[in-house]
Amino acid sequence: MDKLTVRDFDARDKRVFVRVDFNVPLEDGRVTDDSRIRASLPTIVHLMSQGARVVLASHLGRPEGKVQDGLRLRPVGERLSLLLRRNVPVTGDALGPGTEDAIKRIRPGEALLLENLRFHAAEEKNDPQFAAALASYADIYVNDAFGTAHRAHASTVGIASLLPAYAGLLMEREIRALSSLLEEPEHPYAAILGGAKVSGKLKVLDNLLTKVDVLILGGGMANTFLLAQGKSVGKSLAEHDMVEEARALLAKAEKRGVQVVLPVDVIVAKEVTRGTEYKTLPAEKIPASWHIVDVGKQTLDLIESALRDVRTVVWNGPIGVFEIPVFGAGTRHVARILADKAQAGATVVVGGGDSVAAVQQQGLASSMTHLSTGGGASLEFLEGRELPGIAVLLDRPKPTLVRAESPAPAEPPRVFRPAPRASELAAPTRTPMPAKAPAKSPASATTRGGPMNENPAAATTPAPSAAPAGKPAAPATRKPAASATRRTASAKRKAGAPKTSARKPAATKRKPASAKRAASAGKRSTAKRKPAATKSAARKPATARKSATARKPAASRKAATAKKAATARKAATAKKAATARKAATAKKSTTTRKSTTTKKSSPARKPASARKSPAAKKPASSARRPAAAKKKPRR
Ligand code: ADP
Ligand code: MG
């Protein structure tokens, strides 16, 4: 699952509607935990610094379609303003003329926050009119609210069919982290599931059982499994009507060879309260009137040894009643083990509001690979379901689409793709597009597939492995680079020749460079040839590029042209290089000649290196990416 993100469009001057998840806890009108606000800062800052006019929208609590003063977003706006060090006004309502005016007044680089979306019942009903009203505020839609991506609401789904829809950076991070747990995770792979209920996590368990090597069960969830093993759990929290399902899951695990770790000793308490009497007992001997509130030391040892070699861990649900410190030892211990694992390079993803809170309480948040900001959303994701709020976002076309005649699935949203501009990261890839793409509109899939892949590939694609894997992406990436090169070349030469002749100059400039190199290499040419071959390999893509693109539509014609061009180029190159050098010599002194040669070779060299660099950088960045993916941004 690879979605286009805020990095894939030029936000300058655009009105961008950003759905964020600012559903933060409030106490006495103050935000008590701003982590959800902080989590979306990268997206907001990115857009503001690009000069977008940002319209932020969120829900807060469950006002169920009615205005509730205690659920106004003003405190959130204040905290956001503090964090951004920029004033972010909050509208009095998500709709209405006042709001429309306020939106019109947003200047580039500024942001505004709409009042709680759920003050309108239409939001949760995904009402088309409400969605249209929200869409009228902007040119582009961005979803950064992973926490609500499992809900098909007006601001998460309805609006996305009316505007070009991109993922925010938080959304991207969530998708990437959670996908890494389902798609080709590194093994050994362990899932730790705990918390209050089996029923809410049954499907997750079922799906994860097909992926993991180790399954660790704790918390209230483990109690139901203890029942399934024929043990009694006293007054402990357990779901008696889920015992059969639990038994079936244990059987499935056994069949698949998954190692299951269940508590062998537990901490039992008279009551689930602070200051109550408690003790450690074997899991077989739970008194009828006591509650299991945590796992015991032996179980923790078992957990630790089961996790010894793991490379991937997903954790959802605390191991005990961690809110009461004496019953939080198991949860704290597991959190520490996982933090160490992540620090040692394993992928550790923690999902679930309470589990994340437990990790945060211990100050271990930044040690983990990823803490999911969406409880329900992350569970649904782990069930293997497609979340509606993610499904509606624009897909990043796959490199193979370049050759495909009809890249069906991503077709409709492309309509929304804003005209690219040459800027920042995207400059080399976007510049050539307007010039060439429109003419090819029927085959636009091919054209579009290319450039759209590029930025992403450079910036985000969890790329394939190094050099060979770089190849499929190469035609797309190089194309624009080549045209950019051509332009530079033709500009410098002032020949003003159209495309075909523009190629010649490029070749012309290349040749003298290699000719010079060959000359200076002298007898050591064999030794030099190797790098030269490498370079020509880097260069060849230019031809390969042409022939690659040519092959499909009119292979033979283009191949012939390519051959002719090549021969013509060689001849022209030799002549022109000589003439150029002579002319230069005539005009300028030796020193000047040197500088002329430098100038001459540099355009040839620069484009060449420029051509190489995307190709060379690609694998490098792709090589870097998996590494980064392994380490994962620790937040
Ligand atoms: P998450 O939010 O991480 O998905 P859950 O909401 O499923 O986790 O469960 C968290 C709750 O489970 C916590 O309030 C915790 O006290 C409770 N819990 C954990 N272990 C037990 C237990 N043995 N008995 C009762 N409650 C438990
Ligand atoms: Mg919870």
Collapse the DSSP code of 26 into the 3-class scheme (helix H, G, I; strand E, B; otherwise coil) and give the result: strand
Give the per-residue pLDDT at 226: 97
Q: Closest ligand to 327 CA?
A: 1
Q: Is the CB of 124 under 6 A from ligand 1?
A: no
Residue 104's alpha-carbon distances to 52, 99, 137, 309, 486, in angstroms, are 13, 9, 8, 56, 42
352 CB within 6 A, ligand 1: yes
β-partners of residue 370 are 349
* Residue 306 tokens, joined: 């089961």
Residue 193 Cα to chain centre, angstroms: 25
Q: Can you read off the two tokens belonging to residue 447? A: 């054209």
Compute, in angstroms, the gap from residue 356 CA to the centroid of ligand 1: 12
Residue type, 5: T
Give the dihedral of Cα atoms 545, 550, 553, 554; nearest 10 deg.
-170
CA–CA distances in Å: residue 121 to residues 97, 152, 571: 19, 13, 74
If residue 72 lies in a helix (H) or strand (E), which one and from where to where? none
CB-neighbour burial class of residue 106 (10 A; exposed 0-12, middle 13-18, buried 19+): middle
Distance, in Å, from the CA atom of 485 to the CA atom of 539, rounded to the nearest integer, reads: 12
**CA-based Rg of the chain, rounded to a whole angstrom?**
30
Task: Quick: pLDDT tens for 358-369.
Answer: 999 999 999 999
Element (H, E) at 431: none
Q: How many other CB atoms are found less than 10 A from the CB of residue 113?
A: 24
User: What CA–CA distance (Å, rounded) separates 588 from 556?
Assistant: 45
CA triple 211-213-216, angle to 5 deg: 105
Q: At what angle do helices 243-256 and 219-228 cross, to 10 degrees?
A: 90
Q: Is the dihedral of CA 88, 89, 92, 93 positive or negative?
A: negative
The residue to mutate among 321, 338, 379, having the most atoms of ligand 1 within 8 angstroms of its beta carbon, is 321
Rounded to the nearest whole angstrom, what is the distance from the C-alpha of residue 18 to the centroid of ligand 2?
A: 26
Instruction: Judge if the beta carbon of residue 376 lies within 6 A of ligand 1.
Output: no
Between the CA of 147 and the centroid of ligand 2 the distance, in Å, is 13
Given a contact cutoff of 8 angstroms between Cβ atoms, the answer to whether 161 and 392 are in contact is: yes
353 alpha carbon to ligand 2 midpoint, in Å? 5
Q: Where are the beta strands (DSSP E) in 275-432?
A: 278-282, 291-295, 312-316, 347-351, 370-371
Distance from C-alpha of 292 to C-alpha of 267, rounded to nearest angstrom: 6
Ligand 1 contacts CB of residue 354 (under 6 A): yes
* Among 212, 113, 194, 117, CA closest to 157: 117
Q: What is the pTM for the complete model shown?
A: 0.66
- The secondary structure of residue 408, as a DSSP letter, is G
Residues 285/233, Cβ–Cβ less than 8 Å: no
**Is the beta carbon of 195 within 6 A of some atom in ligand 1?**
yes
Ligand whose nearest atom lies closest to the CA of 355: 1
Query: Per-residue pLDDT tens for 17-41?
Result: 999 999 999 999 999 999 999 999 9
Would you list the DSSP string of 541-568? HHHHHHHHHHHHHHHHHHHHHHHHHHHH
3-class DSSP state of 384: coil
Terminal Cα distance for the chain, rounded: 22
Catalytic residues: 36, 197, 353, 376
Main-chain phi, psi angles of 281, to 5 degrees: -140, 155
Contact, 620 vs 477, CB < 8 A?
no
Residue 283 Cα to ligand 1 midpoint, Å, equals 19
HSE-up (13 A, CA, CB side) for residue 54: 33
Displacement of CA 632 from its chain's centroid (Å):
11
Structure confidence at residue 577 (pLDDT): 46
Give the Å distance between the CA of 318 and the centre of ligand 1: 5
b/e per residue 217-248 (b: at least 16 CB within 10 A): bbbbbbbbbbbbeebebbbbbbbeebbebbbe
CA distances 202 to 22, 174, 225, 294, 331, Å, are 28, 22, 12, 21, 21
- Ligand 1 nearest-atom number relative to CA 358: 3
Which residues lie closer than 8 Å to 226 by C-beta, 6 or more apart?
233, 238, 262, 263, 283
> Ligand 1 within 6 A of 367 CB?
no
Cα separation, 411 vs 398, whole angstroms: 12
What's the helix, strand, coil split of the chain in %, to 5?
60, 10, 30
Token pair for residue 458?
């450079």
Question: Measured from the CB, is residue 317 less than 6 Å from ligand 1?
Answer: yes
Please report which ligand is nearest the Cα atom of 219. 1
Nearest CA to ligand 1 atom 10: 195
Give me the DSSP letters along 481-510.
HHHHHHHHHHHHHT----HHHHHHHHHHHH
Question: Which residue's CA lies nearest to atom 24 of ligand 1?
Answer: 220
CB-ligand 1 contact for 378 (6 Å cutoff) = no
Which of 354, 356, 380, 382 has most ligand 1 atoms within 8 Å of its beta carbon, as the pocket-test mutant? Answer: 354
Q: Which residues of the chain fall short of a pLDDT of 50?
A: 409-568, 571-574, 577-635
pLDDT for the residue 399: 77
Does the beta carbon of 219 sit less than 6 angstroms from any atom of ligand 1? yes
> If DSSP codes are grouped into helix, strand and coil, which group holds residue 189?
strand
- Look at residue 54 and give its three-state secondary structure: strand
